[in-house]
Structure formats: structure tokens, C-alpha cells
Structure 1
Amino acid sequence: MTRLMPTISIITPVFNGAATILDCLKSIDSQTYSPFEHFIINGNSTDTTLALINTRKRPYRTVITEPDRGLYDAMNKGIKKATGDIVGILNADDFYPADDILSTVANAFKNIEIDSCYGDLLYVDSKDTDKTIRNWKSGKYARRKFFSGWMVPHPTFFVRRSIYEELGYFNLELGSAADYEIMIRFLVKHRITTTYLNKIIVKMRIGGASNKSISGRLKANRMDRKAWTVNGIKPYPWTVFLKPIRKIGQWVIK
């Protein structure tokens, strides 16, 4: 069953993102799809971020500048401001690689039985964004994959706004695992429907907030396990250890 094309809300949290924010904005401004809206949640940046944002004012863009409690608090603020049918998040150091990304997403949501969608993520060099570092080929969804350390690339994850309103927002107590937790809550616990878009949806610069060192990843294992327990689901003993191991292939397959 299908319906008319949905409206899309894009949320961009940023703090001192002067080095990358223009690439992010240009990729959004180049989208051929309409209608969509864009909320920038600027956590009182102290560099030239706000001045750069103001050079690309658009009717569909709203800028909110105020203190926040970090990345996921900023995301929550944006989602709660959103009015679109669909919500996507594009961080300040990420960008869409083509002008038809939102069109591809909107086409997926024409099916009213689809609650969410996701695609592939390309990690690129922080300076030379044409240079691929990692290729996250996510593949088709199966709930059981989560128990083997698989997860959706969160920057490519688009969700109906009604799902956030019904099932809740990012849990700030989970720290850097807040995106992992929300996907466990949505996809594993509540079993919302999703579909895979066999396409690179987002390019992410290596060195962004979501990229961890080996020591940081080991420290994050505790929060990953908590992401399961707060949802009342018991993972396999090896689930959170397989999660970083699965990333090895992303460095090899480019």
C-alpha cells in the first residue's frame, strides 16, 4: 500500500563545526526532493560555525543556538521540533554524496507499512573526502543479526516521527551508545519495520564523534551491554564483543 510522498525533517547537531559545516549544508541544499525542513541545533559554538551557517540561509532551515548536554541532547531537541513525517539526522561533519538521497528515502516511505529505512555508510578521509577509508556495507535487515554484533549505520537511519513520539528519544544516560540503544529499542524490542536501501546514503569523515579508538571501543563495551539491559533483552555473551570485530571487513572492502 502506498500514499503521497512524505515530508522529511533533517536534524544537524553541531558544536564548533566550522571546518565541515559548509559541506554538510551544501549537500542538503543540493537535494532535489521537496518538501523537507532542516533544523540546525548549534550548541553555542565558539568558532565561526554560526557565521558560516548564516551564509546559507534557506526558507526550510531553522537554526537554534543554545547550550545543550551534548550530541544526543541536541538530536532530541531537533526531533521534538520536527514537523515532517520522516526524521533523519545528518551530523555537521557528514554529508550526502548525491542530490537524490532524500528522494530515495521518500520513495521507501511511500509504503505505509515501512517505519524506517537505512543504507550504506562510507567513511572518508577528513581532508580528502574522495578518499575512502572504510566502507560500511550494511546489507538486508534481519532481527537476529543484532545478536551477532550487527547494527544499522545510524547516520543513514531514517525513522517516522510518530515512532519517536511513541517509543521515545535518545537516552542520554547511554553516552556514545545512545544510537545503538535506540536501534535496539526500535528494531529489536518493538520490532518496527525497516527496509534496506542498497546505496551509499551518507559520507562520514574519519575522526568524527562516532569514531572510537580501540581503547575507547573497549571502554564502550559496557555501555553497549547496558543498551540491551535497559530494554530488558539479554544478548548473547559474545554480542558486544562481535560488534567492533565486524568492523574489520569495512577496512578491507572498499
Structure 2
Amino acid sequence: MHIDNIKLPLLLRAIILSAVFLQSCQQPPQTDSNELVVAAASDLMKASQDLKNAFEQTSNTKVKFSFGPSGQLEQQIRQGAPFDVFLPAAISYGESLQRDDLLDGNITIYAIGRLVAWSSSIQINSLDDLRLPDIRSIALANPQYAPYGVAARQALQSLGLWEAVQPKLLYAYSVANALQLAETGSADVALVAVALVQDTGSPYLLIDSALHAPIQQAAVVLRSSQNLPAARAFVEFLQSEQAQNILRMYGFEHP
């Protein structure tokens, strides 16, 4: 976007928040033999604690999540990050690793994500409202790395809005960072995952899923895992009724 489309302090705040978020997500976690390390798309940030607790109740293995945009996590995996399970928000990232024989077993689609338009201060009744002059900045995850950014772009293109809102767009590191920009006032609206906003108390617009490709939440076990039995058990757990009920509470849909 052009700098003159928003006030400079607002832009600086967005840049600083994105940089801080990026630094917190870039470093893969240290591991020990009793932990299962799950690289997960950022839309799972809020659901992850409930999933972790439920799995650990029936397993001797502790779960640690590492969050980020799916594309960045895939790059970390290729660079040797010590992950056991990868949960991208698009099947394509699992397919890419599968082509290079980096997976143990097949790709599982365990849920479908939903895209929303969210604002803490503006009532959004339709995506066409994004044209309104009161909405000066719109945050979305960078489509280069984040499936929710791709879905947001597709939805806007489907409605013929993409070119009209170009000057308002703020590209965030991840879908969680896009929400953070809107929560702090650095963006007026965020196009993000419903799983991240259900507990905010602010209304949101659920975007018609027919406007974009399905946001397929994939699960894969990495061949490099040092704990393959537990990794396989975790992916199987995600398909269980208990896990599906948890995911449904956060707005995910059954595949």
C-alpha cells in the first residue's frame, strides 16, 4: 500500500508489531525426548491448548506447539527444524513435502477453516463495506506464505473488490498477526480465521466459503520425527470425536 493512505504513526506501529511477531515465530523450539513438537498454522493458536490437554490426558507424551504461517513453517522443516507433526492450513504444503519424500505416511485433512472479516469498532455487513471511506486499512496475512491470505485475496477477487481495496491493504506475517494489527488499531478491519475471533466479543462477518478455495487443514507426520509412534497417534487423535468437538467449538468445520 502507499504510505500516504494511512497516518505514518499507524504504519510504524504495524511494522513494529509485525517485526516483533515475526521474531517470536521464526525460531524453532528446542526439544527433549518426552515432547512432541507440532508445527501449526497460526489459526490453531486458540484451539491448541484444548487439543493439547485432551491428547495429554491419554498419552505419556507432552505436546509443544510452534506457530507461524504455513509457508514459513514448511521452509523451517526443509531446513531441519526438529518438528514431529506439521499442521498447515493448506494441503499444498503437505503435498510439497510429500513429493520430496519428507513425510511418514499420508496427508490427513482433519478440518476446514473459515474466513471472517473482523473489526473491534466497525460493523461490517458485507465485504462491499470495505469500500467505505471510514475503513482506511485492511489487514490480511501475506498470501505468499499464509493460506488465509490466499483465501482473502480470492474472496475479494470473486466479488470484484480486489483492485478497489488495494490501497488499503496491510500484509501481515500471519493470520494471527493480521488480527493483532486490527486489535491494536493499526488496521480498521482484519480478514482472518474465525477460530481466532470467536472469544473477542466483537461481531464479525462470516465470509461465504464459495468465494474462495476450501481452507483445508492438513496434518502430516514428518519422516525426520524422533518420536514417530506419538506423532502418528496425534494425527489419529485429530480425527477423533473428542478432537473434532474441540475444533468445532472454535469454528472449524468437519472435512
TM-score, normalization: structure 1?
Answer: 0.27
Larger relative CO (CA 8 A, sep 6+): 1 or 2?
Answer: 2
TM-score, normalization: structure 2?
Answer: 0.27
